[in-house]
Amino acid sequence: MKMRHELTYAAPLDEVYAMLADPAFREKVGKAQDVARVEVSVTEEAGGLTLVNDQDQNTAGLPSIAKKIVGDTTRAVITERWSGQDSATVEIAVPGKPTSAKGTITLNGSGDTTTETIELEVTVKVPLIGGKLEGVMAENIKSGYDVEHGVGAAWLAGER
């Protein structure tokens, strides 16, 4: 299932990129998302960086069929490979589960405004109900990005 989500920040592209590359920001987002555990690492590379966000997510609120597959908590490893300040590949892996998401993140700056566009292919390999669960996973991912956006808007306004 294809998923696209756009978020707009009232800040220039370089400030949004710096925020997204800051482990302290990602840890604050994890707390706002009520994850059980979050560990963030950043590795600087020529022209960019790799950010790994390894977390245990609570599954409260998921449909019972989804909870049967993932349990009360599930581990998600989100890897972003930024080739510069305006684009990254992203992969969301759920070790030991038949779910994943892969795609891109693009930052488009125009003056004091930056739009973040997330485009993912969400996959759940479960016979008969995989398509329905892909929809649930896509909505859960969008909700997570919405929380990140709220924390990000406050962060860019100086609330750290």
Structurally, the chain folds into a number of domains equal to 1
| CATH number for the domain that contains residue 42 | 3.30.530.20
pLDDT, mean over the chain: 93
Angle, to 10 degrees, between the axis of helix 13-20 and the axis of helix 130-156? 120
- Cα separation, 78 vs 96, whole angstroms: 15
The pLDDT confidence band at residue 68, using thresholds 50, 70 and 90, is: low
Residue 147 has pLDDT above 70, yes or no: yes
Q: 4, 137 in Cβ contact below 8 A?
A: no
Domain range holding 101? 2-156
Please compute the mean of the pLDDT values over residues 44-66 and round it to a whole number. 85
Q: 80, 50 in Cβ contact below 8 A?
A: yes
Residue 72 has pLDDT above 80, yes or no: no
pTM: 0.92
Residue 67 has pLDDT above 70, yes or no: no
Residues 6+ apart with CB under 8 A from 23: 40, 41, 42, 51
Which tokens hold the place of 75? 């581990």
Please compute the mean of the pLDDT values over residues 105-128 and round it to a whole number. 95
**62-71, 98-107, 123-132: least confident range:** 62-71
Dihedral sign for Cα atoms in the order 34, 58, 96, 119:
negative
Concatenated DSSP letters for 86-114?
SEEEEEEE-TTSSEEEEEEEEEEEETTEE
- Which pLDDT score is estimated for 1? 96
DSSP state of 144: H
